[in-house]
Structure 1
């Protein structure tokens, strides 16, 4: 189709990186690409923290569940939901901010952080770099907040490892396209029919990469995780940061 679409469709997570620095020029291009993406009401409620310090990366790797590729890669980006900036705007104008006290604020910040993350992945991979998103920054959020010096009304949503790939990795299959794209309304039948097909595809993929014993297939792997809240500290800490997801103001 075109180079941009080819880059997106060729995405794969990279967890092994060359011992090669990524220039500030390239990182700035990636972060500028994220900044130029759309955001709700032009509120600019995302901040990106660029981390190169070895000790800090090692600590973040530990806090994220011992994901050592965070420490080994040259750069780690943390995407922060940021209502501190808009809070300061309200202090300046006298219009008190309350959006952070409602679930709508969490949704706005989550969507905008996700848009920025997606843009960063595409930008990085178009420059020949490899990436892997890290939800594990939410595993021990209080320690991450302290480490990064985050103020009230902010929260670390997701990280992104960036570096030069040491290998190409395998491209993971996705659910059947006809269960992802629905026309006019949600098609429950398409979803129901797709699960067995996708389990078979994932079983083959996992067998090919030598992980069939650990994960088995998509249904088993996903349902085992989703039978519990796997980052249980988020709710308490996000409220400590000034967000109140239970409010109906």
Structure 2
């Protein structure tokens, strides 16, 4: 394809991707490539075919996860691959019996893993007391999140669908028992994986305008009011298309953070983490 025609094609594809992601007049410029296409086309998939996820796809996803940055190269994360139907059913009970966990042939449980570095340090005669602080717990959680997101991009590039499951944290102790996690290992979230059911297509969920999240040089307090009202309208259009309950995003935020009850037991995570071997000084 001639260079001029290629630039026009790139511009048109980026315009289409931005249109799906923002549903406003925001335009993206620059070269298009398949990596950008995969990332900007991300959508949470909650309806799956029963086909198993190939073992080679899992290994490629883990290789992608291990290619993510890791603080001080401690690699303080692990992942448990759950394919057994009964085990997924028990984990799903923790997560509130979600449709996507019941349907997906694979559930990945991503872990902040300080057990491995502790064992290495103590076997070498160190106290490993540096792992007893909130910083180290955060390090493990961040490492797990970066690894998982790399895996998501890889899986989606292979035609698979995914959905993060934060409700794994509803009862981390039950998850730890089910997965035989040692002290110092914390289940951060789950991730369902499978082939999307073409009969129930998932849409690209619109996000806030960039003017609400992108600041130059210094933070500016609060999103513009027009951004929030406009985003409420955009998200309601998406909800209508996807045949899901209508709710303004600002109401959703208020409902999610407005009360302790809305946390569904996760207000106790500090206490639970200590029970699972994290001192959190």
| Partner residue, 1:24 | 55
Any idea what the Cα deviations from partners look like across 1:86-143, whole Å, max 9, x if unmatched?
0001112222112332221122112111101110110000000000011111011111
Q: Which moved more, 1:202-211 or 1:89-98?
A: 202-211
* Structure 2 spans left out of the alignment, 5+ residues: 1-31
Q: Note the aligned Cα RMSD (angstroms).
A: 1.5
1:200 equivalenced with 2:233 (yes/no): yes
Q: 1:196 offset after TM fit, Å?
A: 2.0
Which of 113, 116, 121 is matched with 2:144 structurally? 113
| Partner residue, 1:71 | 102
Normalised to the residue count of structure 2, the TM-score between the two structures is 0.83
1:161 equivalenced with 2:192 (yes/no): yes
1:91 equivalenced with 2:122 (yes/no): yes
Q: Which moved more, 1:69-78 or 1:4-13?
A: 69-78
Q: Provide the C-alpha distance between the structure 1 equivalents of 2:42 and 2:99, rounded to a whole number of angstroms.
A: 21
Counterparts in 2 of 1:42-53, with a 5 A limit?
A: 42-53=73-84
Give the aligned length.
244
Any idea what the Cα deviations from partners look like across 1:140-198, whole Å, max 9, x if unmatched?
11110000000001100011100000033111100001222211111225455522222
Which of 58, 70, 86 is matched with 1:55 structurally? 86
Maintained 8 Å contact 2:77/2:140? yes
Secondary structure at the residue paired with 1:161?
strand
Distance 1:88 1:164, change over 3 A: same
1:242 equivalenced with 2:281 (yes/no): no
Q: Provide the C-alpha distance between the structure 2 equivalents of 1:142 and 1:128, rounded to a whole number of angstroms.
A: 34
Q: Provide the C-alpha distance between the structure 2 equivalents of 1:209 and 1:49, rounded to a whole number of angstroms.
A: 32
Any idea what the Cα deviations from partners look like across 1:202-230, whole Å, max 9, x if unmatched?
122222223344xx111101211112341
Distance 1:227 1:190, change over 3 A: closer
Q: Which moved more, 1:188-197 or 1:27-36?
A: 188-197
Normalised to the residue count of structure 1, the TM-score between the two structures is 0.93
Maintained 8 Å contact 2:202/2:242? no
Maintained 8 Å contact 1:61/1:69? no
Q: Provide the C-alpha distance between the structure 1 equivalents of 2:158 and 2:125, rounded to a whole number of angstroms.
A: 44
Maintained 8 Å contact 2:162/2:193? yes
Q: Provide the C-alpha distance between the structure 1 equivalents of 2:51 and 2:268, rounded to a whole number of angstroms.
A: 35
**CA radius of gyration, larger in:** 2
Secondary structure at the residue paired with 2:267?
coil
1:217 equivalenced with 2:262 (yes/no): no
Which of 26, 32, 38 is matched with 1:7 structurally? 38
1:175 equivalenced with 2:214 (yes/no): no
